[in-house]
Chain A
Amino acid sequence: MTDTALSIFGGFLLVAGAAFLLLGSLGLVRMPDLFNRIQAGTKATTLGTLLTLAGAACLQPAWGLKLLLIGLFVLLTNPLSSQVMARAAHRMGIEKSQLTMVDHLAEDTGEKS
């Protein structure tokens, strides 16, 4: 791997993406209840994966198309799976954190939270 400006930029993108992945996993461990864990665990890791894929595309420009495909797929499927998980957890009656003030889904469906 030769050191061009593009490859060093790609390396920094890789480190930034991996840092976002680490922060997302840290949120998964530290957050108080399931819904906060879903927030931390999917939003931060989506950004981290996209940054990592962009960095890999900078390091190996010939792989750009496949990396773009993986990125598009992660961008489409990750919010969907997190939304399905959150709805399933809400219907299962997972207890919320003491700090949770508002529950719009419970208000809309008329059940008490």
Chain B
Amino acid sequence: MAEFLVYVAAILTGLAFLLALYRFFKGPSAADRVVAYDVLTIVAITGIVFTALAEGRGIYLDVALVYALLSFLGVIVVARYLERGL
């Protein structure tokens, strides 16, 4: 039962990733793409957690933590660049 629910949640997360990817490719302006990138990273962190659950290996959570740190910095840097240049 719990395993089935994990798979259902993983499929829903994959659909969320695809929808955000659509906005990432289509987005009219660069800012739209950065927002879509932000959402993509958050969904990817959740995907890494699902991978850790499916494999049963807790070490993958460290990957999720580092990815959260670096992707946040990436979004901030691109936003500052769009605002007034580096």
Chain A residues near B (Cβ < 8 Å): 1, 3, 7-8, 10-12, 14-15, 17-19, 21-22, 24-26, 28-29, 34, 37-38, 41-42, 45-46, 48-49, 52-53, 55-56, 59-60, 62-63, 66-67, 69-70, 73-74, 77-78, 80-82, 84-85, 87-89, 91-92, 94
Q: Contact between B61 and A66 (Cβ–Cβ < 8 Å)?
A: yes
Chain B residues near A (Cβ < 8 Å): 1-6, 8-10, 12-13, 15-17, 19-20, 22-23, 29, 31-32, 34-36, 38-39, 42-43, 45-46, 49-50, 52-53, 56, 58, 61-62, 64-65, 68-69, 72, 75-76, 79-80, 82-84
Given A29-B22, A34-B29, A63-B61, residue A11 in contact with residue B5 (CB < 8 A) = yes
Q: Contact between B31 and A66 (Cβ–Cβ < 8 Å)?
A: no
Q: Which of B16, B29, B38 is A94 in contact with, Cβ under 8 Å?
A: B29
Do most interface residues of chain B lie in helix, strand or loop, or is the interface mixed? helix
11 A-B pairs whose Cβ atoms sit less than 8 Å apart in the complex: A18-B13, A25-B17, A42-B39, A52-B46, A56-B52, A60-B53, A63-B52, A66-B62, A73-B72, A82-B38, A92-B31
Q: Contact between A18 and B46 (Cβ–Cβ < 8 Å)?
A: yes
- Provide the residues of chain A in CB contact with B16, threshold 8 Å: 18, 21-22, 24-25
